[in-house]
Structure formats: structure tokens, C-alpha cells
Amino acid sequence: MGEPGTTRRRCWWGWGWEDQVVSGDHLTRLAQAVAGSLGTPDLEVWPPPRLEDLVLRPARLTPPEPLAKFCAVDTYSRAAHTHGRSFSDAVRAVHGDFSVPPDVVAFPRDEAEVVAVLDWCASAGAAAIPYGGGSSVVGGVSCDVGDDYQGVVSIDLGALDQVLDVDRVSRAARIQAGALGPALEEQLRSYGYTLRHFPQSFEFSSLGGWLATRSGGHYATNYTHIDDFVESLRVVTPAGVVESRRLPGSGAGPSPDRLFLGSEGVLGIITEAWMRVQDRPVHRASASVHFPTMADGAAGARAIAQAALFPANCRLLDAGEAASAAGVTTGSALLVLGFESADHPVDAWIARAAELCADHGGVIPDGVRTSSTEGAAGAWRSSFLRAPYGRDALVQLGCIAETFETACTWDRFDELHHNVDEAVRRSLAEVCGGGTLTCRFTHVYPDGPAPYFTILAPSRHGDQLSQWNEIKTAASEAVLANGGTITHHHAVGRDHRHWYDRQRPTLFAQTLHATKTTLDPAWTLNPGVLISR
């Protein structure tokens, strides 16, 4: 878990690189700023855990000889694979709770080794947890699988990180599933291509993880979900290998790819995929549109989505988020609008989008820009990419720093927004005595938006998890009661099961159960995620 050619190492308890963790004066200044904005007394800074203090429970499994050469049982590897990156993971990790680590971490170097380690898990009665970048925010890579298993093996696909083939005629690439965002883009760049899939976790999440969770990219419309780019998949299941045919489209029955997209590691391990790639964009135009209210902004965003202009960026931030993320202090909602093309200038598209915004009270004080890295839009983008390090720091300050997201149809949006906002603020007041809640749209569709909520609240070391649990429950109940989905792109994992089980149709759950039993007869893969025995 290091950077090739350097001594740089991934942080074992939190997000990103060890050398980028917020610390020292930066952390002290953050503590003062957060205490000021939350109106609380000074916040206690909890020091990060130290590897030398960590005593993990003894490993219950020993990999057999042929597998031992690509398996690790050292403290750093086991600790680094204990948690994903949800708020509750961060609280546990910062406070040194590594009580449920994997017994073994396997780093298979080819598909045969993936097959071998899965076979070993099944014969040893162990649970196998597929691990890409480990950025799950829903308990998807946790090792808490109950008492029915003899141990837990985390299967880290990081060594499968190559672009294996490029078909220039069809403009597609065969890519191994363990490739993290930067390595994947770097290899495609040498061909002049991009996958153009940029979730906020891009730096530390993998192609296989994106496919297994149906991740949503940074772009707000059109080709942005990983699903949009899949030509075919290759998956190792305990029952054998499944490989779909490369096709641009197919009406031959239910799609085999769709069975595995979003299967969150419970049906098999995706080892590679043929992905549609794109030429790199060269034409860009962007604008920051100010609206009097969030409702006006939502009307503008809907008009743009329904006009089929397909902006790359169409992110509506409410006034609170516009102020904190983009420095807009006028109380306006902000629509971060951007168009991109590898083929043609996009001036006409942004001009038409600006007209539609104006119909709903939108104004563009700084005018349209041809570079996407200036002004409020640029400020928002850099804080977006740096934010994950800040979240760990907020946990160290004893705060509750959480995000939750959904999608709903436009006809339900006003009510959902109002009711979720009210339920969460009530919960924050009751549980934490206050806090802030902001909302933005991450994606817009012709028939509805994907609202994304951010919570920051004062708490105390020792109380964070129980308080978070109450607020998370209030938010999830309100989302479901108002016609939203329990997740638009964060996946289900273990943490969303309670609400997912109520959202999905019963017969569908039975079908999924039967499929799981066929592909994974011993229920070796990711117990507790998506479905239970």
C-alpha cells in the first residue's frame, strides 16, 4: 500500500497518504475555526493511534504454503484492512479500536491466485472480503462477519492494476480490477484516452470497487456512472469464472453485467473489465450561477437536465454549502455549471443553459469562463478533492462529520428536501444541541436530482458513535419515508442493510438469495453485505 518508486505509504488508520494527514498547526487552526463556527468551547484534539501501540488479536488462520508468498499477517497490513472509510470507521480507527481485523490479507498477483485464495477460504470455512481501495463508506470491507466463520481473509486486488489491452477502433480498454484511479488514468493517458470517471474518492478507490458498488463520478449528467462505461466483465466466483461478451449493446435477455454491477463482492470477485474509454476533453466552458433560493436553483437545474444539454457539471449548492465550500457570502444558492467536449466548442451549450437559469432568477456575476479552474467553481473543486483528509481531522476533534445521499423524482424533491432537513435538524438539536446541515445536488437527471447532505455537529470523544447512530437513523428514515433511495451512489454494504431490506422488492431479495447460493454455495464472500443467509 505504497506509492511505486517512493517510500510513501498509505495511512493505516485514515484517508490517503500518511504524509498528507492534517496535523500540527493546521489541526490546531482547524479546531479553532470549527469551534467558532459551531459556537462550542475549545475542541479536544485526539492524537492519532500509533502502530507500535497496536496489539491485534492473534490471527486464527495460517495460509497454506503455496498461498503464503502473496499473503500478509503483519500488523500494518491487517490494521490497514480492518476498516473502510465511513464516519463510524473513522471514529473507531482514530480511537484505536482495531478489535475485528482480518486474520490474513491476501495480495493475489493474477487471476489464478484469486481462484486459489477463494478455494482456500471456502475449504477453511473462512469469510473472504474483496478489497479494492478500501474507500467503502458503508461497512463494505469490514471484517465483522459474526461467529459462523473460522476467520476472515481480506483479498486486496491492488496488484492487479494494469491496462492490458486497448482497442482503438472501438475505443475500449481491458483493465484489471485492482487499478486505482490515478494509475488507471496514467496508463490510459499514454494512449490519449481517459475513462473520465472521477468519484471524490478517485485517488484511493479501484475499478473493481467502482463496478462492485456502481459508483457515481464527479460529472453531474450523462456518462458519469461506472455502469455507463462497461462493455464486459470477468468475475471469479466460488462456482467458476463468468465472462460476458464484449458488446456495445445487447437485447439478449437480462444483462449478465448488470448482475455483477452493484453486487458489492457478494457474488464474485471482478478481476477485469472491458471499459469504454473516451478522448480527452479540450473544449471547456464554466460558470457560477447565483440563485436567490435553493428552490429557484433546483428549477434551473431541472430545466437544464430536461433540455438534454448534458453539462459535465451541474452541481447546485444551497446557501450554507455555497458559503463554506465556495466562499459565496450573499446567501445565494450556487449552481456550478460546466460543459466539456473532446470534439466541439461548447459555448452554445453554456449560453443556452445560462438562458434557462435566467428564466428562474439565476445570474452569473463573473460571466462565463473558458477555463474550469477559476473563480468559485475552481475553489469548490479543490476543496472537494482535499475534503476527505479534513473529515478525519474533524473526527479527531470529537465532531460528527457525516454525509448521506439519495435520489428522488423532481415531483417529490421539495417535500423530501423540506422533511429530511427538518428531521435531521431536529435530531441534531436533540442529540448534539445543534450543528449544521447543508445540501447539494451531485447529479441531475431529466426526472430527478441526487441530493447530498453534509452534517457537522459538536460531540464528544466517547459519544460520537451513539450520537451518530441516532442522527443517521433519523436521516435514513426521513429519506425512505419521502420516496428517496437509501443510497444513490454510496452503496448498501452492512450499514444500509436495515433500510435497503425495506426498499427492495421481496421477490427480488429471494432471487438475489438464490443467485448467491448458486454462485457462492458456502456463502464465503462478504457475509452480511446486501443479503443474509
Ligand X SMILES: Cc1cc2nc3c(=O)[nH]c(=O)nc-3n(C[C@H](O)[C@H](O)[C@H](O)COP(=O)(O)OP(=O)(O)OC[C@H]3O[C@@H](n4cnc5c(N)ncnc54)[C@H](O)[C@@H]3O)c2cc1C
Where do contacts with ligand X occur on this chain (CB under 6 A)?
Answer: 84-85, 129-137, 140-141, 157, 177, 199-201, 205-206, 208-210, 212-213, 215-216, 264-265, 269-270, 388, 489-491, 493, 526, 529
Q: Which residues on neighbouring strands pair with residue 448, listed in sequence order? A: 445
- Nearest-approach distance from CB 289 to ligand X, in angstroms: 22
Min dist. Cβ of residue 528 to ligand X (A): 10
Nearest to ligand X of 236, 299 (CB atom): 236
Minimum Å distance from CB 319 to ligand X?
23
Closest CA to 526 of 144, 271, 70, 262: 144
Cα–chain center distance at 92: 19
Nearer to ligand X by Cβ, of 266 and 475: the residue is: 266
Element (H, E) at 166: strand 163-167
CB-based closest residue to ligand X: 209
CB of 443 to ligand X, least distance (A): 10
Q: Between residues 307 and 465, which has the closer beta carbon with respect to ligand X?
A: 465
Helices and strands of the chain, counted as H and E runs? 16, 17
Closest approach, Cβ 338 to ligand X, in A, equals 16
Q: Which residue number, 95 or 488, has a Cβ lying nearer to ligand X?
A: 488
- 183-192: list long-range contacts, CB under 8 Å, 24+ apart: 187/162, 187/163, 188/163, 188/277, 189/280, 191/166, 191/277, 192/279, 192/280
Least Cα distance to 472 among 489, 487, 483, 451 occurs for 487
How far apart are the C-alpha atoms of 315 and 332, rounded to whole Å? 14
Nearer to ligand X by C-beta: 428 or 529? Answer: 529
Q: What are phi and psi of 165, to 5 degrees?
A: -155, 145
Of the pair 98, 291, the CB lying nearest ligand X is at 98
Strands, E assignment, 29-83: 71-72
**3-class DSSP assignment, residue 402:** strand
Compute the distance between CA of residue 512 and CA of residue 506 in angstroms, rounded to an integer: 10
Q: How far is the CB of 502 from ligand X (least distance, A)?
A: 20
| 137 or 309: CB nearest ligand X | 137
Q: Which residues contact 400 (CB under 8 A, 6 or more apart)?
A: 87, 432, 435, 455, 456, 457, 458, 459, 464, 467, 468, 471
Look up residue 329 and give its three cell numbers.
Answer: 457570502
* Residue number, 199 or 297, with CB nearest to ligand X: 199
Cβ 82 to ligand X shortest distance, Å: 13
Nearer to ligand X, 203 or 421 (CB): 203
Are the CB atoms for 444 and 315 separated by under 8 Å?
no
Q: How near is the Cβ of 137 to ligand X at its closest, in Å?
A: 5
CA separation for the pair 117, 107 (Å, rounded): 9
Closest contact distance (angstroms) between CB of 268 and ligand X is 7
Nearest approach, Cβ of residue 356 and ligand X (Å): 26
What gap in Å lies between CA 40 and CA 272, rounded to an integer? Answer: 49
**14 or 435: CB nearest ligand X:** 14
Q: Which three cell numbers stand for residue 20?
A: 498528507
